Structure 1
Amino acid sequence: MTDGHENAGFERLFGSDRLTFGAGFPLTGARESRPDVGREMTLAAHAEAVGFDALWARDVPLYWPRFGDAGQTFDPWTWLGHAAAHTDEVALGTASVVLPLRHPLHVAKSAASLDRLSDGRLVLGVATGDRDPEFPAFDVDIEDRGELFRESVAFLRTVWRERFPEVDSPWGSLSGDLDLVPKPTTGTVPLLPTGRARQSLEWLGEHGDGWLFYHLPESTLESYLADWRQVAGEKPYAMAVRTELADDPGAGPDPRHLGYRAGSEWFVDYFRGLEDLGVDHVLVSPTGDDPEADLARFAETVVEQV
């Protein structure tokens, strides 16, 4: 872990030696149309009650049908603020805020506000974006997203940590006569760069509070983790894995895009293996046709057994 960044959400995910589990909105599985808000919040409280450690929301500024995924549809700040009011201790994560498309002052204000209103439960996944048509819509050159990402991270850290800061950036300047309020519950909202974010691994290790990555074959994951530990020390590693739980507990793995369909017994062994490799948190997708039952079954047969 990193000194000064252990808000309640970060502690929930990374404050122990055990592998922790999170679930991603929409918990009902509705990815191309507006989810039922009441149902989603009921499921959020249920996921917390059965033992999930985090609830993650996507940042999808504009819907692109060709991509086929609108996230949870609603703005992540508003959505997670609503989720905070329906839960008590579960971490609230973004997976992930597209920094080049958002003014860092808006991100800083929204994130610090959500962090305060949730009693420090926010963990901020941040990314460069992967939906090409969004960039001209925001008048952002897609070739600049790597540099803008670095500039935004520096901007966020400065306005969170300093009172009446001085900042000179592509988005504008602060000359010491204005301050961002509220400040986060700790020195900064913890930032988890997602994927490579068009940065060197050394930069990610130095400037991130952890790393959020995608499912990888275990041999590849092992080398990624070794490289990460070399540049980042004990900073946490989190990953997203698609998980379709088969009815037969003994069913072997059937590969899916970025994950597997398998029985609970195989998943228990798989996640124990990830824990042994040094993975700290996994974002899973345990819901299907009966989300409430699916969350409980995954928690009972996989999470509790790992």
Structure 2
Amino acid sequence: MLEEDANAGYRRLFDDDGLTFGAGFPLTGTNRSTPPIEEELRLASHAESVGFDGLWARDVPTYWPKFGDAGQTFDPWVWLSQVAAHTDEVALGTASIVLTLRHPIHVAKSAASIDRLSDGRLVLGVASGDRDPEFPAFDVDRNERGQQFRERFEAIQALWREEYPELEGEWGRLEGDLDIVPKPTAETIPMLPTGQARQSREWIAEHGDGWLFYHLPERTLEDYVADWRDDAGEKPYAMAIRVDLADDPTAEPEPMHLGYRAGVEWYRDYFRRLEEYGVDHVIVGLESEDPEEALSRFGDEIIEV
């Protein structure tokens, strides 16, 4: 259930009975090298103007060519501070901060800083990590990811809510003589575990402010959302999908990795079904040689219809 004191970003994404849409960086599609900064920022402003409710940045600490991409390349905290300065009201999301590779004090301070700089627009997707070579690079035991994720998740929440907290975990210890500032605009910043995050669905439902998942076949997705509702009630369910809009508006879907190539008519029906299943927000990764045109077309022919 949406809390009355939730921050502005969470309300923008989820304080509505209908399905909302976000766009995932890099908006130019350049994900193996540094994307053009001014173009990305211009497209971010454009996405907001055509009706997208969220802009999402990934956390990819290192580039592993075997995995296939480097996200939007820039550190998500630094990048989202730039995006905040070039947009007005759109939610700013992370999809997702890898808690096992980041110290919780750094996460708490960085996230609260972005939240303050953006007037409360930050929503955090958080994850346990999935790029195997990164764990030894950060001296992290990948087999302990589940416990580390839980401890850091709970520590970050305490660092936002408490003054001079007394906390201890595998990450370190606070003895009540240090505080973390700034605090968020609301009591806390919403955190959505991503995928399974090495946790049970019941744990995610109890501790998370929602659930962020990947593209799934429709029948599987319908079951996932139904099970989520049983455990989490009205807490939001968000998902990511790659979208390639065919020139022919009547084109039937062609599956591609984590999404479909299809006409806008099929996509309108598809998103209506997602809304009926109980999906609250969709992060769209648009595939196009003309990103501005694709954002405009998605906004005009899908979001606004």
Question: Identity percentage over the alignment?
Answer: 68
Residue number in structure 1 paired with 2:299 = 299
Residue number in structure 2 paired with 1:109 = 109
Query: Counterpart of 2:16 in 1: which secondary structure?
Result: coil
Residues 216-235 of structure 1: matches in 2 within 5 Å?
216-235=216-235
Residue number in structure 2 paired with 1:73 = 73
Aligned-residue Cα RMSD (Å) equals 0.9
Conserved? CA contact 2:57–2:72, under 8 Å: yes
1:162-185 deviation digits (Å, cap 9, x = unpaired): 011110111111111111100001
Q: Distance in 1 between matches of 2:178 and 2:264?
A: 54
Residue number in structure 2 paired with 1:56 = 56
Residue number in structure 1 paired with 2:251 = 251
Residues 6-85 of structure 1: matches in 2 within 5 Å?
6-85=6-85
Conserved? CA contact 1:164–1:179, under 8 Å: yes
Conserved? CA contact 1:23–1:54, under 8 Å: yes
The amino acid that maps onto 2:70 is A
Conserved? CA contact 1:92–1:123, under 8 Å: yes
Residue number in structure 2 paired with 1:90 = 90
Structure 1 range deviating more: 286-295 or 270-279: 286-295
* 1:115 to partner: Cα distance: 0.3
Residue number in structure 2 paired with 1:177 = 177
Change (3 A) 1:173 1:4: farther
1:149-207 deviation digits (Å, cap 9, x = unpaired): 00001100101000111101111111111111000011111000000001001000001
Query: Counterpart of 1:285 in 2: which secondary structure?
Result: strand
Can you give the 5+ residue segments of structure 1 that lack an aligned partner in the other structure? none
The amino acid that maps onto 2:250 is G
* 1:219 to partner: Cα distance: 1.1
TM-score, structure 1 length as denominator?
0.98
Conserved? CA contact 1:5–1:209, under 8 Å: no
Conserved? CA contact 1:47–1:296, under 8 Å: yes
* 1:303 to partner: Cα distance: 1.2
Q: Distance in 2 between matches of 1:206 and 1:52?
A: 29
Q: Distance in 2 between matches of 1:277 and 1:105?
A: 37
Q: Distance in 2 between matches of 1:298 and 1:219?
A: 25
1:263 is the counterpart of 2:263: yes
The amino acid that maps onto 2:11 is E
Residue number in structure 2 paired with 1:146 = 146
1:117-145 deviation digits (Å, cap 9, x = unpaired): 00000000000011000000000000011
Residue number in structure 1 paired with 2:127 = 127
Query: Counterpart of 1:160 in 2: which secondary structure?
Result: helix
The amino acid that maps onto 1:273 is R
* 1:257 to partner: Cα distance: 1.1
Conserved? CA contact 1:93–1:122, under 8 Å: yes
Q: Distance in 1 between matches of 2:273 and 2:225?
A: 13
Q: Distance in 1 between matches of 2:292 and 2:226?
A: 37
Q: Distance in 2 between matches of 1:280 and 1:112?
A: 25
1:23-81 deviation digits (Å, cap 9, x = unpaired): 01000000100001000000000000011000000100000011110001000000000
* 1:233 to partner: Cα distance: 0.7
Q: Distance in 1 between matches of 2:222 and 2:287?
A: 28
Q: Distance in 1 between matches of 2:4 and 2:101?
A: 27
Conserved? CA contact 1:57–1:96, under 8 Å: yes
Q: Distance in 1 between matches of 2:303 and 2:286?
A: 11
Q: Distance in 2 between matches of 1:39 and 1:255?
A: 29
1:86-120 deviation digits (Å, cap 9, x = unpaired): 00000000000000000000000000000000000
* 1:4 to partner: Cα distance: 6.0
